[in-house]
Structure 1
Amino acid sequence: MELAIRSPRGGVQPSPGDSAPQSVSTNKARANQQNIPKPNVGVLDVRADGPNAAKRQRAKTFKTRTGCKECKRRKVKCDEGKPTCNRCKAVGLTCHFPLSSSVSLNPASNATAIATTSTKATSPVGTFNSYTEIVRTNSAGQGGATATAIPGGDTRILVVPDYVTTVFKDQTSWDMFSTFLFTNEQGTSLPHNKLAAITPQIAHHNPAIREMCCAVGAAVGAFTAPHVNGEEAEKAQQLSLMYYNRTIRAVRAAGTALESLLAVAHVAVIFMVYDMMRGDMKAATLHFDHASRLLVSYFGKRCEQENVSLTDLKLNALESAMFDMFQRLSTYSWPLELGISGDERPLFKGGKRCWGRHRYEIGNMPTSFRDLDEALRWWDVTQHHISHHLFDDLAVVDPENKAVWEKAFTVLHNWHSAFVLLYRYTEDHQYDAPHRYVTACIFEALYTECLSGLHLQLNADAKVLPDARPIWREIIRTTRRMQQELKSSIDWNVMDNMVLKPLVIVLFKCRDEQVRKDVKVVLEEAVAWYGNTCLAAVMLGMMNMKGHQIPKQMKNIERAVGWHLTSIGCGPGVISIG
């Protein structure tokens, strides 16, 4: 076989050993060329980019079949970090993750998947796609399971890439976070919990808070869903523990910087929610004490940095919400049961820790509150001042010590004087804004309850005491009117927050039989309209049971709602002396 060498310029040169003499005629050369079999001519291409050129040594890297598009193009191992993997971040490339091959590219299939992920997807348990919908399997004719309970195995969230896909790696995490959002919804008829309102926003950029929110979302199906039991509840509990452990790892990686102290204290609050849902009071107390110490250290360092006192320290929204929350939790008892069944209500007293001695001076209380949020803050300060300052020493709470008791009644009177104009304004506009009127009535009832409790502790034989029952009846009347006006235009979950939770406070606070019967009428109307999926059905069931007959899931719901009431300042309004 002849071997021809192709020069870098593209020409073909004959082999040196077979070169023909220059004297050979042209015809003879042509004749010889006809006898050369062309298929046997081998061409050796020695160009730098030719197929026979020496192969370059490639840097030793690991190939990958998964990961982002840039890592696939570069043929390197992708760590699949979201929203940007570390390899793309190191070289400044834009990271793009491809759609999963298990996702159908059919528009009709995509629309079906999108509808499945919607929080408004209809289901037998309501209009929210909870954990029970994730693990539930369809009939054989519908094509098997809709999703999987294993994070990472469900890719419906990737059908339409958007901001959510940069935060949550799989559909299950997004569903658990959505469940947390659903249970975290406050409505407009109760005092506002600012910390609960800003937690979902902070979770988008704080992995520890995000994982703990997912743990609480999974705990809803594990501990507080009466229709979930057996294998589904066990799966939900395992899922919540997985997110719980992820949170612990994220907290350990948070470091010890100043901003990390506040973030870890925030995570501890969500840990307390998780503990209250499953009834672990020991763990809840430990988390509360740990978070309290972190906040004391955090605010102390902030004051040192700014070289100001705590009173003059300017707080952002998160700092202010955290301060108010822990002042509230250290003042009120934590109700373990609401007494919906009519039984006695066991209370649990959190750590008595002084918050507010140098932040909100009781003498700086405004003469008139501008809104209900300000009224709530100063109600907490008033309760805290009476509990931690006036009656902190058992030696001064003797009924013979009139000076201390007069100070307590004066502080309560000052708060009510600043609140009364706001209360009258909401009363005048109760048909335009009934939800605000309900909130104002709750504050008025708490004040009346506290005033009556102090009078009774000062004089156990007192016969005439302030009565809050007319205010409770006003709340029942207003919520019933709201329900009748809104029942055809809102979902049952909105009705739970706007109408039913204020009625929970009435059952929690009032033991009058006629008042409880009036509440029962409103609950029966709610069940007739929305069915057994709403909170009214749970409340009705508990009202018709004795304490030992209430299922564990219902007790968990009762304790979780009681924790919610404490977190918004609607816990026991009676200051227990001693």
Structure 2
Amino acid sequence: MEQTIALKPKPKASASSASSSSRGGGVQPPRGGDPSSSQIVSVPANNKPRIPNANVAVLDIADRSGQNAAKKPKTKSFKTRTGCKECKRRKVKCDEGKPICNRCKAVGLTCHFPLSQSVSFNTTATATTAVTTTRAGPQSDTRILAKPNYILSLFKDQTQYDMFSTFLWSNEQGTTLPHNTLATITPQLAHEDAAVRETCCALGGAVNAFTQPTIDSVAADKAHQLSLQYYTRTVRAVTTATSTLRALRSVTHVALVFLTYDILRGDMHAAVLHHDHAARLFEAYLGKRCAQEGVSLSDLVFDDYENALFDMIQRLSTYPWALRLGITGDTDEFLAAKRCLGRHRYSIDKMPSSFHDLDQALRWWDVAQHHLAHHLLDDDTETTKATWERAFSVLSSWHNGFVLLYRYTQQRKNEEPHSYVTASVFEALYLECLSSLHLQLNTDAKVLPDAKPVYREIIATTHRILDELKGSQANFRFMDNNVMKPLFVVLFKCSDPEIREGVKKVLQHGVAKFGSACLAGIVLGMMHMKSEHVPQILRNVERAVGWHLTSVGCGPGVITAG
């Protein structure tokens, strides 16, 4: 991963579950007013947009396109001003065939037309969700240039700004679950990093194409093509990267955003490759930093950006990835290959006796789970009695540090219901993990810790949050981020009929407030479907939310031995 990105073709994903953030979780809401006026439209299987035949980046091959072009003798040929970019580069006449011109097709090149000739989304307050096509030249959409502004000057045209805005929308997280720090700082980093900015736009296009239930198949295909163009622009930005520390860190970040892009499309093969690639890049980055400063990894001082990258890569290689959340009664997970970046930055023996806030509780929950997965119950270590005792001791130490904080949020649940929901999710994860360890140690165990009382509290509190929405908070976006996401955790963790009925009541309340096209209406509809009848685009929505749960550490709380 030294010089450039080389894209390689990939086979179809082998995971049967990969049929579906927030940071990438979340659903792009219908534009144009009240969502209740929209209808859910499924995309027929035979109209499924094609997945590109290239995905993974390996930064070790120099970009020689310029060198090769210089070696070729100049020949007289017709030039084109409106054709594809490859024909312009090769200085040949383009027939402008779509989606690929005959010139490029004949020599096996990937055909790309300028963005000004591509689809554009109008996301103004009064715009509809229709996708329109703009023409090249003076008729390009330049509304963004009407009012000079530093932020707007970062974007080349209105379309790019619209796609970035869609990414921001889907990136909202709410306050009832822990925050994904990397997702939080990504928009700010995109201001100064062109590669990150382009990949955010690609992700915005993917959100429109794959997770918007109200979109028709034609518009979805156009959105997909637009996302691929930004994907390609990201790759081109990365090809200029060197092996400097800043470049290594930037491309690690890009690989993780590409991973989210793959999750939205349901391409698990590409997702795994991008995850592994991000881990290798960051390992190279950490190795260089340690060598420069002459310290070990555990003594290396991280900034917020490095902490966010480190925590995300470790989290994704520790927890299974949530794919199906039990909405239709079935759950599914994908377990990536375990990959430890070395001894965790926080030594398990230095865990505080009491956590002072929920962020600290999450950090040490990750440390505890990492220790169980990578150092106690891994594939290469024999699971002895002493190992199990140590595992229970680690889990007990975390809960001892958390319990006072949990009690405090209980006492203030009326004043601070959002914090109470977050703390309750942690308590449920702890009880789930504790039960799992007991079952693995003794498969005949009859009495296990029960998390159902905690799930009832989450349901009751989210119902109250929904009921009390008023003012600027009385909108379906706020409900999606602060009410729906904790309920997804409950559905994913518990199949008890009573608990599911409690969730349905909250969803029905949400539909009564905001209409059937909001996320509550979508989930409520899925709960009444048979698994095999769920449209693919709704599975994409489910998978996107599952990815958000995984990325914030609230997905699976079960670590298994071996």
TM-score tier (shorter): 0.7 to 0.9
Q: Choose which of 529, 554, 560 in structure 2 pairs with 1:545.
A: 529
The whole-number CA distance in structure 1 between the counterparts of 2:310 and 2:235 is 23
Alpha-carbon deviation of 1:351?
2.1
User: What CA deviation, in whole Å up to 9, does each residue of 1:193-233 have, x standing for no partner?
Assistant: 10000000000111111010001101111111111122111
SS of residue in 2 equivalent to 1:335: strand
Q: Choose which of 346, 352, 368 in structure 2 pairs with 1:382.
A: 368
Say if 1:346 and 1:358 are closer, same or farther in 2 by CA, change over 3 A.
closer
Say if 1:427 and 1:356 are closer, same or farther in 2 by CA, change over 3 A.
farther
What residue number does 1:347 align with? 333
Output the TM-score relative to the length of structure 1: 0.74
User: What CA deviation, in whole Å up to 9, does each residue of 1:296-333 have, x standing for no partner?
Assistant: 11111111111111111111111000001111001001
Alpha-carbon deviation of 1:117?
5.7
Q: Choose which of 409, 422, 428 in structure 2 pairs with 1:445.
A: 428
The whole-number CA distance in structure 2 between the counterparts of 1:198 and 1:484 is 31
> Where in structure 2 are there 5+ consecutive unaligned residues?
1-121
Alpha-carbon deviation of 1:181?
0.3
User: What CA deviation, in whole Å up to 9, does each residue of 1:426-462 have, x standing for no partner?
Assistant: 1111111111110000000000000011101111110
Map of 1:126-525 to 2, 5 A cutoff? Answer: 132-133=129-130, 135=131, 148=134, 153-343=140-330, 345-355=331-341, 357-393=343-379, 396-397=382-383, 401-487=384-470, 489-490=472-473, 491-525=475-509
Say if 1:395 and 1:243 are closer, same or farther in 2 by CA, change over 3 A.
closer
The whole-number CA distance in structure 1 between the counterparts of 2:126 and 2:399 is 46
The whole-number CA distance in structure 2 between the counterparts of 1:552 and 1:315 is 41
- 1:189 counterpart letter in structure 2: T
Alpha-carbon deviation of 1:464?
0.4
The whole-number CA distance in structure 1 between the counterparts of 2:123 and 2:136 is 16
The whole-number CA distance in structure 1 between the counterparts of 2:516 and 2:158 is 28
- Greater Rg over alpha carbons, structure: 1
- 2:409 counterpart letter in structure 1: T
The whole-number CA distance in structure 2 between the counterparts of 1:435 and 1:230 is 38
Contact 1:193 1:568 in 2 (8 A): yes
- Find out whether 1:529 has 2:508 as its counterpart: no
- Find out whether 1:574 has 2:561 as its counterpart: no
Say if 1:123 and 1:543 are closer, same or farther in 2 by CA, change over 3 A.
farther
Higher relative contact order (CA 8 A, sep 6+): 2
User: What CA deviation, in whole Å up to 9, does each residue of 1:411-430 have, x standing for no partner?
Assistant: 00000001111111111111
Alpha-carbon deviation of 1:256?
1.7
The whole-number CA distance in structure 2 between the counterparts of 1:281 and 1:499 is 28
SS of residue in 1 equivalent to 2:560: coil
- 2:378 counterpart letter in structure 1: D
Say if 1:406 and 1:502 are closer, same or farther in 2 by CA, change over 3 A.
same
The whole-number CA distance in structure 2 between the counterparts of 1:176 and 1:413 is 46
The whole-number CA distance in structure 1 between the counterparts of 2:161 and 2:488 is 30
The whole-number CA distance in structure 2 between the counterparts of 1:256 and 1:394 is 34
Contact 1:150 1:172 in 2 (8 A): no
Alpha-carbon deviation of 1:359?
1.6
The whole-number CA distance in structure 2 between the counterparts of 1:564 and 1:523 is 20
The whole-number CA distance in structure 2 between the counterparts of 1:414 and 1:459 is 22
Contact 1:268 1:288 in 2 (8 A): yes
- 2:218 counterpart letter in structure 1: E
- 1:458 counterpart letter in structure 2: L
Contact 2:511 2:518 in 1 (8 A): yes
Contact 1:455 1:462 in 2 (8 A): yes
The whole-number CA distance in structure 1 between the counterparts of 2:342 and 2:449 is 29
RMSD between aligned residues: 1.7
